Amino acid sequence: MTRRRTTRKIRVGNAFIGGDAPILIQTMAATKTLDVDATVAAVDYLAQSGAGLVRIAVDSVNDAKALAEIRKRTSANLSVDLQENFRLAELVAPNVDKIRYNPGHLHHLETSLSWEKKVEYLAKVAGDFDVALRVGINCGSVDPQKLEKYRAQLADRDSEIRASNDPSAVFDPLLESAMEHVDFLDSIGFTRYCVSIKDSDPETVVLVNRRFAKLRPQVPLHLGVTEAGSPPRGVLKSRLALETLLSEGIGETLRVSLTVEAYQKSLEVEAGRSILANVVSGNVIDPTTRLPKLNVVSCPSCSRVQNGRFVELARTLEKATEFAKDYPFKIATMGCRVNGPGETDDADVGLWCGADKVNLKSGSTPIGTFGYDEVVEKAVKLLREKIRLYDEQLK
């Protein structure tokens, strides 16, 4: 293992990220936050399994009230992810150790207020309540202005860009967003933060994090492949990115995001521990290992999932589309309305799941809404049609 770089060291509850601290493994509870008993049990179990930080979903005032009760009943380090409502920060901050905000979601609320003012507010709340921040940039929810600026380049995310030896076109919006927020936080004197820059493509994760680490070597990095999918493919994707970066001394904390049932979330922790052990022993995956051309992604299950059948649906669709493994298409299965609409926009076949129905899309175009028992057949039919058109173009 290459000697780890030395970054700032930030405290998160009774743990630390960066500096000389051990690499921290994170995960997320998939129980309903309003079910306090189940969530406390899940958090404690995940902490005992080796998670140094456990994230809980809070999307409403009622969730925030439940979080306060959860905090009373567990000593584990807790994190919360702010989605569209950045104002929830002041409700959750008294009961967590870290808050993650997504620059791409800041525009949803109070549109007349600049992103700088919103971040200034978040930093003040974090400072007032002794809480760390994570600036979490995600490929499926890029800042709309950044996305528009680089839309033409993003449309060309293919082998030609990578072969040109100029990878910047692949991750410019992600990197620019990260740099912008880091520089602003530093300028207002708030430095108790880490950064994550995640993509569903392991190669992009390596490229963008490698570049960021060079440009801002003092900032701790949270590593992960977003929407990695079900095991074993999801673990393989995560290994390709994380073992490569960690072997270069890059990365201070990590999460392996897997599509599994709530009672199996400890598999994320186990995969993270295995990755760290591989890096220490030098038994890392060959970074030139090629994944199938067909990119199958699905989000990690969490409390926002409205129907538990989402996990089995993702697995079923992955198996049903194995015949297309040599085609350069993307299939995305998302478990809720938060990640569903936006994070399927770049998928050739996209599904986002509601309580009783599943929305089927092709890119940003809606195809229809179907029951859980019929949507796989519809999705496969859509994929076969895309393959037919693709093959005709090659003739």
Task: State which residues form the domain around 183.
Answer: 9-281
pLDDT at 162 over 60: no
Cα–Cα distance for residue pair 324/327, rounded to 1 Å: 6
pLDDT at 161 over 50: no
The burial of 257, by beta-carbon neighbours within 10 Å (0-12 exposed, 13-18 middle, 19 or more buried), is given as: buried
Is position 1 within any domain?
no
CATH number at residue 218: 3.20.20.20
Q: Do 383 and 332 belong together in one domain?
A: yes
Q: Burial code of 115-145, b = ≥16 C-beta within 10 A, e = fewer?
A: beebbebbbebbeebebbbbbbbbbbbbbee
pLDDT at 167: 45
pLDDT at 14: 97
Taking residue 193's Cβ as centre, other Cβ atoms within 10 Å add up to 25
Instruction: Tally the domains of the chain.
Output: 2
| Helices and strands per DSSP (H, E), number in the chain | 14, 15
Domain boundary among 281, 303, 338: 281
Domain boundary among 220, 249, 281: 281
CB of 300 closer than 8 Å to CB of 257: yes
Is position 286 within any domain?
no
pLDDT by residue (tens digit) across 56-67?
999 999 999 999
CATH number at residue 344: 3.30.413.10
pLDDT at 145: 76
pLDDT by residue (tens digit) across 291-301?
999 999 999 98
pLDDT at 306: 83
Q: Which residues contact 356 (CB under 8 A, 6 or more apart)?
A: 307, 371, 372
pLDDT at 302: 83
Q: Is the dihedral of CA 75, 79, 82, 86 positive or negative?
A: positive
Q: Do 245 and 300 belong together in one domain?
A: no
Q: Do 128 and 174 belong together in one domain?
A: yes
Q: Do 269 and 333 belong together in one domain?
A: no
CB of 329 closer than 8 Å to CB of 382: no
Q: How confident is the model at residue 9 (pLDDT cuts 50, 70, 90)?
A: very high
